[in-house]
Structure 1
C-alpha cells in the first residue's frame, strides 16, 4: 500500500506545483501527448517482451496494494503437523490436507510426497518449478524498467512533433504560446511517468520477486525434510534456524518480511 501512496503523492505534487503557479489543471492534459507517449511506449515494450509479458506486468500492479507473501512461520508449523500425520498414519494420510493448501507451489510439492515421488526426482522438479515462477515474477519488473527507459525518449519525440505543428502555425502568433506549452506536455508525461511511476514500480516488483524466490527455496527445504521423514520437532527447529539465517543474511525489504522477522525473533 505504501507504494500506491507514494505514486499518488508524487503525482499530487506535480499537479499542486502547476496549480501554485496559476496554471489551470487542464494545461497538464493532452490527448495527443497521451497517444504518443503511452501508446508508443506500450508498443515498444510489447515489441521487446511480447503480449504475455506486458499483460503479466500490468497484472502485477495489484502487488502494490497487497504484496504476495507466504507466512513462513505458519508454513513451518504446517509442515511440522504434516510430518506428525505422515509418521503416524503414512504419507497417504496427507491427501486429506491437500484441499486446504492454497499455494499452488506448496500443493504440488505435497502432491509429489503423497505420490511417493523419489527424492532425487522431487528436488530437481521443485527447483525447476521455482525457477520458472521466479522468471515470471521478474519479467514484470523488467517490463516496467524498460518502459521507464522508453518513456522519456518518446516524450521528447512527442514534444518535437508538437513543435513541428506549432511551426506550421507561425502565421497565427496569438496561438503560439499555447501551442508550445501543449507540445511540452508530452515531455512531462514521458519524464514524469518514467521517474515517478515506471522505474520505482519496476524496482519494487523486483524486490518482491526476490522475496518470493527466497520463500520458494525455504518451502522446498521444508518439503524435502518432510519427504525425508524427519520429525515435526526437528523440522520446526531446522526451518526456524534457516529462516533466521536468511533474515540475517538479507533482511526483508517489504512490509510483510519485516513482520515475519519480528515474529521469528519472538518465536526463537
Structure 2
C-alpha cells in the first residue's frame, strides 16, 4: 500500500478524532448511522447522476491504484529506448523488427513498428498523440468523479443536518432531548466536510497526478521512437528523454 496515502488518512482522520477526545467528546457522538447513510448515499447518487457509466468504472479502477505503491516504469523504458537507438544506429532500423514482438509495452511496440515500416514521422506523431491524449481525457474523467464527490459531500452533509433539525423541531415538547438531537444533526455536516477534504478531494488529486505521470511516460516513449526514426545518436536521445523522468530518477 502507498505509505503517503495510508499515513495521510491516519493523520487526517486520527487528528480530528483525537482533538475531539481532548475536548471531552466521545467516539459514540461521532458514530451516527443515519448521518452516514444520508451523506454517503446522497453523494454517491449525485456523482452517478453527473458522470457517465464509463467514467464511474474508470474512477473506481483508478481508486485502487491510489492506495497502491507506485513505481515509475519510465527509467526502465528509457533504457530500452536507448538500447534500440544504439542498435538502429549500429546496424539499421530494420534490425529492430525481430525484437518488436518481444517488447512488453504496447505503445512502444506500436510506435517502433511504425518506425520500422517507414511511416512518415508526422503521421506517427499525429496517430499516437491523439491516442495518448484521448486515453488521458478518459482517465481524467475517472479522476473527476472523486473531485465531484468532494464538491457534493459537504452540501449533502448540510442537507443531513437540516433534516436532523427538522426532526428535532418536530419534538420540541421533550426539551431534554434537544441538545442530543441537535448534536446528532450536525454530525452529518462533519461527515460531509471531513470526507470531502480528507478523502474525496485528495484522492482525486492523487489520481490526477498519476494520470499525468502516465501521460508523460507515454510521451517519452513516442518522442524516443521518433528520434530513432530520425537516426539520432543514442546519447542525444538519452539526454533529451531524461527530462521526462520523475525528479528522483534523473540523477
**TM exceeding 0.5:** yes
Q: 1:71 to 1:214 in 2, by over 3 A?
A: closer
Structure 1 residue 27 displacement after superposition: 1.7
Q: Distance in 1 between matches of 2:241 and 2:66?
A: 26
The structure 2 residue matched to 1:216, chosen from 215, 218, 226, is: 218
Q: Distance in 2 between matches of 1:157 and 1:91?
A: 66
The structure 2 residue matched to 1:5, chosen from 2, 7, 11, is: 7
1:117-156 correspondence to structure 2 within 5 Å: 117-156=119-158
The structure 2 residue matched to 1:67, chosen from 65, 70, 73, is: 70
- 1:99 maps to which residue? 102
Q: 1:227 to 1:20 in 2, by over 3 A?
A: same
Q: Over residues 101-148 of structure 1, what are the superposed CA-to-partner deviations in whole Å (9 max), with x where a residue is unaligned?
A: 1x3322332343455544343221111111112112322332222221
Give TM-score, length-normalised by structure 2: 0.86
Q: Distance in 1 between matches of 2:173 and 2:98?
A: 80
- 1:265 maps to which residue? none
Q: 1:104 to 1:31 in 2, by over 3 A?
A: farther
The runs of 5 or more residues in structure 1 that have no matched partner are: 248-256, 263-268
Structure 1 residue 85 displacement after superposition: 4.2
1:241-252 correspondence to structure 2 within 5 Å: 241-244=240-243
Tell me how large the CA RMSD over aligned residues is.
2.5
Tell whether the 8 Å contact from 2:157 to 2:190 is kept in structure 1 after alignment: yes
- 2:239 maps to which residue? 240
The structure 2 residue matched to 1:200, chosen from 185, 199, 202, is: 202
- 2:247 maps to which residue? 258
Structure 1 residue 82 displacement after superposition: 2.2
Structure 1 residue 75 displacement after superposition: 2.0
My pick for the range that moved more, 106-115 or 74-83, is 106-115
Structure 1 residue 98 displacement after superposition: 2.8
Q: 1:136 to 1:195 in 2, by over 3 A?
A: same
Q: Distance in 2 between matches of 1:160 and 1:177?
A: 15
Q: Distance in 2 between matches of 1:261 and 1:80?
A: 15
Between Structure 1 and Structure 2, how many residues are aligned?
247
Q: Over residues 56-105 of structure 1, what are the superposed CA-to-partner deviations in whole Å (9 max), with x where a residue is unaligned?
A: 22222223422363323x3222123223445637637534443341x332
Q: Distance in 1 between matches of 2:237 and 2:218?
A: 16
State the SS of the aligned residue for 1:99.
Answer: coil
Structure 1 residue 187 displacement after superposition: 0.1
Structure 1 residue 174 displacement after superposition: 2.7
Tell whether the 8 Å contact from 2:93 to 2:116 is kept in structure 1 after alignment: no
Q: Distance in 2 between matches of 1:207 and 1:140?
A: 13
Q: Over residues 144-164 of structure 1, what are the superposed CA-to-partner deviations in whole Å (9 max), with x where a residue is unaligned?
A: 222211111111001001111
Q: 1:26 to 1:94 in 2, by over 3 A?
A: farther
Give TM-score, length-normalised by structure 1: 0.81
